[in-house]
Amino acid sequence: MVPLLEVHDLEVRYGKALAIEQVSLTVEAGEIVGVLGPNGAGKTTLLKAISRAVPARGGLTFKGEDVSALPVHEVVGRGICHCPEGRRLFPELTVRKNLELGAYLRRDRAEIAADMERVHTLFPVLRERGSQQASTLSGGEQQMVAIGRALMGRPALLLLDEPSVGIAHKLKMMIFGAIEQIRRDGTAVLVVEQDAVSTLGIVDRVYVLEHGRVVREGTAGALKDDDYIRQIYLGV
């Protein structure tokens, strides 16, 4: 069985600086995989390399097909949707228009409407906020729009870049709950996070990235008992 996503020996350079090197990972269909690591470890770069927003060397296979030379919009078309760091909403457009743009490549109107309904069920507050400008929402609500917008592309794999950063605890719990629901709906998730405790609570497997390299990998259960992880990331 081929994994949904297979990243092999990925390397990204910004000018002469090495951002990530020798990074290999896999995501199976229906899995939630976490990437933990401190600031500057290369987590965001890794996600950008997977969605082809930055040039990278190495292997990138999705559903068994080589996607390492595709432009970003074709990667999206294949079923990888990227919810970027800092949410990156279209600030002057309404919440509804932001969500609709997530379905830009799709023509199946009925299915798009069904997905809009699904996003509204996942984040009910977005239904009320539909006609508001995105920039007027709170940070947590904006994060919901960003995740919802990525889901509107009906991805097989959702890339989430620090969804919980800068968000109040209650909303954070809600967003982690939503990630579990997204998986139950059949979408695999690759989530980059700094909050190790919450992340280990929902993921199946974790990769730990430091200085651009994978330093630990394993199931959530195994890493919770790893001394290094306990000391550095869980603080116990």
Name the residues that contact another protein, by CB under 8 A: 51, 53, 71-73, 76-77, 81-84, 88-93, 97, 100-102, 104-105, 149-150, 153
Closer residue to another protein in complex, CB, 102/196 = 102
**Least distance between another protein and beta carbon 226 (Å):** 33
User: What whole-number distance in Å separates Cα of residue 210 and Cα of residue 216?
Assistant: 9
In the complex with another protein, the residue whose CB is nearer, 38 or 86, is: 86
Q: Least distance to another protein from the beta carbon of 27, Å?
A: 18
Q: What is the smallest separation between the CB atom of 211 and another protein, expressed in angstroms?
A: 25
Closest to another protein by CB, 101 vs 202, is 101
Cβ closest to another protein, residue 150 vs residue 206: 150
Residue 25: CB partners within 8 Å, gap ≥ 6? 5, 7, 33, 35, 207, 214, 217
**Shortest distance in whole angstroms from residue 184 CB to another protein:** 24
Q: Which two tokens stand for residue 182?
A: 């997204």
Cα–Cα distance for residue pair 129/120, rounded to 1 Å: 10
User: How far is residue 115's CA from residue 130's CA, in Å, rounded to a whole number?
Assistant: 15
Q: How far apart are the first and last CA of the chain?
A: 38
Please tell me what DSSP assigns to residue 163: T
